[in-house]
């Protein structure tokens, strides 16, 4: 649980231009594997070792990564202090990690009184909770476990931390009639800022692991979405991109490979009232694909021009009997809208012996960055149960 901050930057080698020759090269260039550079960021100024932890959350807002919760090296719960690590500001698209210096600021939780109830608003210490960013200002925290490993029962409350005022508030939420939202941990929380909703996916026990809940930020109400299919063994890898929830599972036909489950959420409330079916995408031999794992990261990234991927990195085998993993994979997502990626995919599908690469896996190619010894390692090494989030305008991942 070393206090290491690292970033992976991906860049698809495709340039869209109006020149015919360049366009032909762009169409012919494959969309995978991605070339990825790993860089260890400098130890944050002011870090005395108190940010070393696991089973915590990392939430990125602008150029800061906010750490909350988790357990320390001794196995004790970390305090409900928010630790803000400043990330290097993007210098250029070619090398967003020109600078690798960071700094640290600690914001201990101080209680504020709820005017309507008289309660003190401050979250308890926790681990294995879910978190996400709201707008460019707030960190949202939901659920988690106490020191005994029991889910914290807070009555569907979402904690909201204001990065400007440093105050905590509660976002309360009723549930739909005859539905009970059980306390949960080990789940994921995603936000669609534009449409004003949250989605909670999964959990760590049999009661919650297949549940999907929808929270309307305007109405402050939790409602259920279709449960994840009961026919597959779910993994803890989940993501949200392009109005779609993605969840990885073990393949029933081959336990050493993964399947992709997807649920499309329409971009308006009226259409979301229609039946929302989960779709299953299988990956068969001889196509490359990662092995199932737990405690890793599944993060949406973009390489520009409308090209999007899910990055699947690190973790440990499902039975947790083997060593942590150090490999990094990408899954190419379907291109959307009128973008360079969409045009390229359309053309490639029409050409013989070519494919768009949609919903295919590829292991990334690691590209060494010239680093002095003082700039740290070129690979963070095998690990799992770390905090992670997209950075560098969605083109990188910080862990």
Q: Where are the domains of the chain?
A: 53-86+108-228
- The pLDDT value given to residue 83: 95
The H or E element that residue 139 is part of is strand 138-142
Place of tokens 């929380």: 189
CB-based burial, 338-351: b 16+ in 10 Å, e otherwise: ebbbbbbbebbeee
Which pairs from 194-201 meet CB under 8 Å and 24+ separation?
Answer: 195/267, 195/268, 198/132, 198/140, 198/158, 199/225, 199/240, 199/245, 199/265, 200/130, 200/142, 200/143, 201/228, 201/238, 201/245, 201/247
| CA–CA distance, 238 with 189 (Å, rounded to integer) | 9
The whole-angstrom separation of Cα 263 and Cα 246 is: 7
What torsion do the CA atoms of 196, 202, 206, 210 make, to the nearest 10 degrees?
A: 80
Q: In the prediction, which pLDDT does 374 show?
A: 44
pLDDT at 6: 54
Q: Tell me the C-alpha distance between 329 and 8, whole Å.
A: 12
Whole-number pLDDT of residue 7: 55
Q: Reply yes or no on domain 53-86+108-228 having CATH 2.120.10.80.
A: yes
Contacts of 21 (CB under 8 A, 6+ apart): none
Residue 74 sits at φ, ψ, to 5 deg, of: -90, -5
pLDDT tens for the chain, residues 1 to 399: 444 445 555 544 333 333 433 344 344 445 668 888 887 887 887 777 788 999 999 999 998 999 999 999 999 999 999 999 998 776 544 455 556 678 889 999 888 887 777 788 899 999 999 999 999 999 999 999 999 999 999 988 999 999 999 999 999 989 987 888 999 999 999 999 999 999 999 999 999 999 999 999 999 999 999 999 998 899 999 999 999 999 999 988 887 888 999 999 988 888 888 888 999 999 877 788 898 999 999 999 988 777 889 999 999 988 777 788 899 999 989 877 666 565 565 455 545 555 556 788 999 988 876 543 444 456 788 888 999 999 888 888 998
The confidence score (pLDDT) of residue 158 equals 97
SS3 state of residue 61: strand
Query: For residue 125, what is the DSSP state?
Result: P
pLDDT at 340: 57
Q: Answer yes or no: are the C-beta atoms of 138 and 163 closer than 8 Å.
A: yes
pTM over 0.85, yes/no: yes
pLDDT value at residue 19? 40
């Amino acid at each position: 649980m070393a206090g290491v901050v690292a970033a992976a930057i991906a860049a698809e080698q495709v340039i869209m231009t109006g020149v015919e020759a360049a366009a032909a090269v762009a169409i012919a260039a494959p969309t995978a594997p991605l070339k990825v550079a790993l860089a260890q960021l400098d130890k944050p100024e002011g870090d005395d070792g108190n940010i070393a932890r696991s089973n915590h959350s990392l939430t990125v807002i602008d150029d800061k990564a906010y750490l909350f919760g988790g357990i320390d090296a001794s196995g004790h719960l970390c305090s409900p202090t928010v630790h803000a690590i400043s990330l290097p500001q993007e210098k250029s698209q070619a090398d967003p990690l020109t600078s690798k210096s960071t700094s640290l600021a600690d914001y201990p939780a101080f209680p504020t009184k709820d005017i309507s109830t008289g309660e003190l608003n401050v979250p308890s210490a926790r681990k294995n909770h879910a978190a996400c960013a709201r707008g460019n200002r707030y960190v949202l925290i939901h659920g988690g476990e106490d020191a005994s490993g029991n889910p914290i029962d807070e009555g569907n409350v979402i904690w909201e931390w204001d990065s400007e005022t440093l105050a905590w508030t509660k976002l309360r939420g009723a549930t739909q009639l005859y539905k009970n939202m059980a306390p949960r941990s080990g789940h994921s929380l995603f936000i669609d800022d534009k449409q004003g909703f949250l989605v909670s996916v999964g959990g760590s026990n049999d009661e919650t692991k297949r549940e999907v809940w929808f929270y309307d930020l305007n109405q402050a109400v939790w409602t259920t979405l279709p449960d994840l299919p009961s026919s597959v063994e779910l993994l803890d890898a989940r993501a949200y991109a392009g109005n779609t929830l993605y969840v990885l599972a073990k393949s029933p036909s081959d336990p050493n490979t993964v399947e992709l489950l997807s649920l499309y959420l329409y971009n308006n409330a009226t259409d979301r009232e229609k039946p929302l079916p989960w779709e299953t995408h299988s990956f068969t031999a001889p196509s490359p694909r990662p092995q199932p794992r737990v405690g890793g990261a599944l993060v949406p990234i973009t390489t520009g021009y409308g090209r999007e991927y899910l990055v699947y990195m690190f973790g440990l085998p499902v039975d947790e009997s083997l060593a942590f993993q150090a490999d990094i994979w990408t899954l190419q997502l379907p291109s959307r809208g009128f973008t360079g990626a969409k045009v390229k995919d359309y053309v490639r599908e029409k050409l013989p012996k070519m494919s768009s690469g949609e919903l295919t896996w590829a292991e990334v190619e690691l590209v060494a960055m010239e680093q002095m010894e003082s700039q740290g390692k070129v690979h963070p090494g095998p690990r799992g149960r770390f905090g992670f989030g997209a950075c560098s305008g969605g083109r990188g991942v910080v862990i």
